[in-house]
A and B are shown apart, each in its own frame.
Chain A
Amino acid sequence: MTAATATAPRPAPPRAPGHADEAPFTGTVRLARHVLRRDRVRIPVWALSISGLIGYFSAVLPIAYPDPAALQARAAIMKDPSGAFMTGPGYGLDDYTFGRLLANEMVGMLAVATALMSIFLVVRHTRAEEETGRAELVRAGVVGRHAPLTAALLDVLVANVVVTAAFAAVMVASDLDAPDSLAVSVAIGVVGLVFGAVAAVTAQLAEHSRSASGMAGAALGLAYVLRGVGDARQLGGSALSWASPIGWAQQTRAFVDLRWWPLLLCVALAVALTALAYVLAGRRDVGAGLVPARAGRADARPGLLGVAGLSARMERGSVVGWAIGLVVFAVLTGSMGQGIVESFEDQPQLAEIFGGAGEGDILRGTLASFLGFFAMAVAVYVVIAVNRLRREEDEGRTAAVLATGVSRARWLGGSLLVTGAAATLLLAVSGLALGAGAGASVGDSSLAGQFALAALVYVPVVWCFMGLAVLALGARVAPGWVWLVLIASIIVGMYGPMMELPDAVLDAAPFGLVPLVPSEDPAALPLILMVGVAAALAGLAAAAFRRRDLTA
C-alpha cells in the first residue's frame, strides 16, 4: 500500500510480483463483514420475497389448475411462440406438472429477480460508495485497491447462496423432487452471480451509480429478450437461447431430464466477468469512470417549468416502474383465464366465492374481482407518491418553491394532478394487461379494451386514498394512519370473504363499494359520491396546509 496503489493512473506500472500478490486485497475480510452487516436486513428480505413468490404460486396454482387436464391447457399456451417468448423453452409440455410449470415458466422471471438483487447490491457497495465519497475514506485506510470490489462480490455471493437455499427449501417443502428443486434453485442463484459480475464491470465503466445499474439492467433485459426470441423460434430453445445466461439456467431440463452442465456456463461467465472487472478496476482512479458521464440539459424544456411539470418529472421513473410491475402481474394473472373457466365449470361453488353471478360470465366476474387487487396496488402507489411530498418538504425543496410565486394551493394541486393522473394511467394499464393476458388465453381479443375501461371504475376509490394521504400531509399527521386505513381496507377486500365477515362490512369497505365491472353494471351513485369524498379530502388538506408552518 503505497502512493502507487492509491493514485494508480491509467495502466498501473509493473511492480514487484511478491508485493502485488496480497497488498491489493488487504482488509477484504473486514470490509466484507461491514458490507454484510449493512445488508443484514436486505438479503433476508430478498430471499423471503423470492421464495415467497413460489409459496404463493404453489398455493394459487392448484386452485386455478385443479387437475392434469387444466394444466395441459396451460401447457398448450406455452407451446405458442408468444407464450414461449414470455416464459421458457418448454421442456415437458406434453405432460405438464407443477414442477415442470415452475421450471419452464418461473425460472426466467426468478432469475431476473436474483439478477436485479445482485446488480443493486454490487452497485450499492462499489460505485455508489465512490460517488458519495465514502470509498475515498475507506481506501485511505489500510485497505487494498481490490478490497472494496472483493467485499461487494463476497456479499453478492452470500446473498445468492441465501436465496438459493431458501428457494430450495420452499420447493422441497412443496413436495417437489429434491435434485430437480436444487437445480432450479442453483440456476437462479448462478444467474444472480453472472449479473453481479456484470454490475461489477459496469460499476468500473460508469461514473454514477444509476448509470452503472442502468447498463447492467440493459444487459439483463437483452439476456431475457435473447432467450425469449430463441425459445419462441423452436421448442426446447434454439441457438439464441444459448446466447443468454438466463437461457442456460432454463436448459437444465429440471423435472424432465435433469442436466447440470449448462449451469457451469453461468459459473464460467461469472468468473470471466469478475476477472474483467478486476482488470478494469486496476486501470482507473478512485471516483472516476472509464466511460465519461453524459452531460444533461443546460436549459429546461418548457414542460418542466411548473409545479405539475416538476412533479411529473419526479414521478416519471416510479410510475414506469409500477407500470412494468403491474403489467407483468396482470398478464400472468390474465393468462390463467382458460384455467379459471375450466376449473369453475368443474366446481361451481368456487364461482360463488369469486363473485361470479352463477349464470353470468364466470371469466369476466373472476377477472373483475382480480381488478380489485390491482386497484389496491395502485392505492399503495398513490400513498407512496403523496408521501414523497413529505420528504420534499422536510428536505427544504418545498420551501424553495413556495418562496417563489407559487401558492400553497397551487403546489398541492399541481402535485395531486400528476399523482391522480398517474393512478388513472396505472389502473388503465393494469386492466388492459389483465384483459390482454386473459384474451390471449381464451382467444377473445375484446377483453383487453373492456378491462382497460373497467379498471377505471376504481379511479374514484384510489383518489379517495390519495385524498386521505394528502389530508394527512396537509395537517401533518403521521402517515402511519393512512397506511393503517389502506391496509385494513386491503385485508377486508382480499380476505374478507374468506374470513366470512358480514356482508354489510364487506360492502361498506372501500374496495367493496366499487361495482364489479364489467360483470356488473357500473352504478354511478357510489362512484360520484367517492369522487366527492376525494375532492372534499383534498379541499380540507389544502385548507389545513394553508394554516400550518412548513417543517423545513
Chain B
Amino acid sequence: MNPVIDVRALTKSFGSVRALDALDLVVEPGEVHGFLGPNGAGKSTAIRVLLGLLRADAGQVRLFGGDPWADAVDLHHRLAYVPGDVNLWPKLTGGEAIDLFCSLRGSVDPRRKADLLERFDLDPTKKTRTYSKGNRQKVALVAALASDVELLVLDEPTSGLDPLMELVFQQCVTEAVASGTTVLLSSHILAEVEKLCDRVTIIRAGTAVQSGTLAELRHLTRSTVAVSCTADPTSVAGMPGVHDAVRDGAALRFTVDEEAMPAVMRALAALDIVSLTVTPPTLEELFVHHYGDALPAAPAGGAR
C-alpha cells in the first residue's frame, strides 16, 4: 500500500530562517505515527505544508498520493486537523463551532457528537470566549473525532488537557485506529507518544534525525538498572557494556547496553538480589541523546 503521508527532502524557509531542511516523513496506512521534537523544531510548519496552508519551497510532498497544495480541498475531505493552539470564534458556542467544523468537512453525526461531548465532559452551550485553552482544544478534538475521516492530523492536541482527559483522548485515538484511521500525532509529551504510537519520527531543526519503531529507537539508548544485593555488587560495574555506575548507599545504579543485558543479569543473580529495578530507556533519554549537546554528561552520539 502507498503511504498516507510521503514527504521527501521537504524544505521551507521564512525569509532567511530555514524552518524545514530536507525533512523526510513517511506515514503508512493504519499506523499512529509520532512526530516528536522540541518547540521550534518545525513540527507545525511541516503539518501546515501537509495541509496546503504553506507552500513547499523544495522537495516532494504527497498526501494520499496527491499534492496538498494543488488538491487541498479534495484531500481535506479525507482528513481532520486539530491545531496545537485552537482559536475559535468568540461569538459562537462550543456546540456551534463543532457543527460548523463538521459540516465544512462533510456532515454532522449528532450521535457521535453527543457521545464525544459526554466523554470529554464539555458543555457545548457556552460561548467559546469563556472556554479555557483545554476546552477550546476539546472543541477541536470533538469536531475532528466526530468526523468520518481516513487521517487525523493532531498537532500537540493534549497540551491543555488534564490527565483524565488525556486518558479519554488516548482511548478515542485507539478506537479510531481500530476502525482503520491513520494518525499523525505531533507531540513533546513523551508518555503519550509511547502509549499511542507505532512508529516515531524525531525532528530537530527542520530535519528528521531518527525514524522507526519505538523498539528500534530504544536500541539507541541504554536501560537504567538500580540494584541492591546481599553481596557487594561493585564488581558488575567493571563488566563490558555497563556505564555510569554510581554507589547509592547499599544500592548500585548504572546504565547498560541492550546486548550486555543477559550477562549482567546472570552476574547479578549470582550476587543474591535484594531489590532490582530496570527502567527501559524513555523518550526523554532519546531526546537528550539527540538534542543533548548542551548536556555534558550525555554520550556523544552521532546526533547530526
Chain B minimum-CB-distance residue to A398: B53
- Chain B residues closer than 8 Å to A397, beta-carbon distance: 87-89
Find out whether the CB atom of B85 lies under 8 angstroms from the CB atom of A404: no
* Max count, chain A CB within 10 A of own CB: residue among B83, B86, B153: B83
Interface size on A, residues (CB 8 A): 34
Please give, as numbers and ranges, the residues of chain A lying within 8 Å of B135 by CB-CB distance: none
Interface residues of B in 59-107 (CB under 8 A from A): 72-73, 76-77, 79, 81, 83, 85-89, 91-93, 95-96, 99-101, 103-106
CA distance in complex: A406, B51 (Å): 12
Residue pair A304, B99 in contact (C-beta under 8 Å):
yes
Q: How far is the CA of A399 from the CA of B161 in the complex (A)?
A: 22
Q: B219 at the A/B interface (Cβ < 8 Å)?
A: no
Q: Which residue of B lies closest to A209 (CB)?
A: B129
Is A296 in contact with B126, judged by CB distance below 8 angstroms? yes
Q: What are the residues of chain B within 8 A of A403 when measuring CB–CB?
A: 51, 53, 76, 79, 81, 83, 153
Q: How far is the CB of A408 from chain B (nearest CB, A)?
A: 8
| Count of B interface residues, CB-CB < 8 Å | 40
Residues in A neighbouring B130, C-beta threshold 8 A: 131, 208, 293
Identify the closest chain B residue to A301 (Cβ).
B96
Q: Report if A396-B85 is in contact (Cβ < 8 Å); known contacts: A401-B104, A550-B53.
A: yes
B275 within 8 A of A: no
Query: When A208-B130, A305-B103, A405-B77 are in contact, do A300 and B53 touch as well, CB less than 8 Å?
Result: no
Mask for A415-438, Cβ within 8 A of B = 1, else 0? Answer: 000000000000000000000000
Q: Is the CB of A314 within 8 A of B104?
A: no
Q: A296 and B127: CB pair below 8 A?
A: yes
Q: Is the CB of A405 within 8 A of B76?
A: yes
Cβ-based interface call for B231 (8 A) = no
B54 interface contact, C-beta 8 A: yes
Query: B125 interface residue, CB < 8 Å from A?
Result: yes
Do B53 and A299 touch (CB < 8 A)? no
Known: A299-B110, A402-B53, A403-B76. A310 touches B93 (CB 8 A): no
Report B27-60 CB contacts with A as 1/0, cut-off 8 Å: 0000000000000000000001001111100000
Cβ A297 vs Cβ B95 within 8 A: yes
B124 within 8 A of A: yes
In the complex, chain B residues whose CB is within 8 Å of the CB of A408 = 72
A317 to B125, CA, bound (A): 20
Contacts of B54 in A (CB 8 A): 549-550
Out of A293, A298, A407, A548, name the residue touching B95 (CB < 8 Å): A298
- Residues 41-73 of A, flagged 1 when their CB comes within 8 A of B and 0 if not, give 000000000000000000000000000000000
Chain A residue at minimal CB-CB distance from B54: A549
Minimum distance in angstroms from A310 CB to a CB of chain B: 6
Asked whether, in the complex, the Cβ of A296 is within 8 Å of the Cβ of B87, the reply is no
Contact residues of A with B, CB < 8 Å? 131, 208, 293, 295-300, 304-307, 310, 313-314, 317, 395-397, 399-408, 547-550
Other A-B pairs, 8, CB within 8 Å; known A295-B123, A298-B125, A305-B103? A293-B130, A300-B103, A310-B100, A396-B87, A404-B101, A404-B104, A405-B104, A405-B105
Q: What are the nearest 4 A-B pairs in CB distance?
A: A300-B99, A296-B93, A295-B125, A404-B104
